[in-house]
Amino acid sequence: MKLAALQMVSTPDVAENLASAVRLVAEAAAAGAELVALPEYFCLLGRRDTDKLAAAEQPGHGPIQQTLAGLARRHRVWLVGGTLPIVVDAARVLNRSCVYAPDGSEAAHYDKLHLFAFDNGQESYDEGRTLAAGDAPAAFDCDGWRVGLSICYDLRFPELYRALMRPPCDLLVVPAAFTYTTGQAHWELLLRARAVENQCYVLAPAQGGQHANGRRTWGHSLIVDPWGEVLACRDEGAGVVLANASRARLTEVRRQLPALAHRRL
């Protein structure tokens, strides 16, 4: 199965970001991608955290979700729609990843469980001010591949991925908007660790560049194989990262080192 991680440098303008997503999904589909994933906050990186509230949609309704469903249907791809804000109440939203099947129907969704907070004296973020946390892991079947969903900061919590491995996932998807500081230190390290310990592919589309709100994201969208080998990467800037996921490779790694069968906890 050919995978595509789409890297973006999203802006505070939803229409502009949707136009970029339309272009990138079309480029990935033209290159033969069968499963395409957008980054976290692909539709909006606002000037303030509260900008998410104005752009938030009701579950299953709204222009962002309609655009994603239409793209999956038009290009006949499985589309992991990065994340978008879903209404909880007047002050909070869910950070939701919606998955669309090639017929445009919603196949699954996942609400970010772990909410990011960081303060090094120069940079400060606290997603809990505007986000409500999700309450359950989520996975879906993609033409015989079991695909587990996660979002950005979730990457630091291996117990989530262990929960997704009952039964084992063949692919983990991690749309993200890692800060430049934390990404430089830990992004590739954590992605490769999740691939190795779970013996599966990891598809990680990211925000990557200098944003209009002054924030800089790390980028380095990656596709990693079950042995921890980086198959493809894009450092910064918008673009498409492509690689093939091989069922034979997955089987080979799990046969040679049957670590998943050795689990005791």
Give catalytic residues, as residue numbers: 40, 112, 152
Beta strands in 136-236 (DSSP E): 139-142, 145-149, 171-173, 201-204, 208-210, 216-218, 221-224, 230-234
Contacts of 190 (CB under 8 A, 6+ apart): 155, 156
Rounded CA separation 181/114 (Å): 19
169: which DSSP letter? P
Do 82 and 121 meet the contact criterion of CB atoms below 8 Å apart?
no
The Cα–Cα gap between 201 and 160 comes to: 16
What is residue 3's three-state secondary structure?
strand
Q: Are 149 and 97 in contact (CB under 8 A)?
A: yes
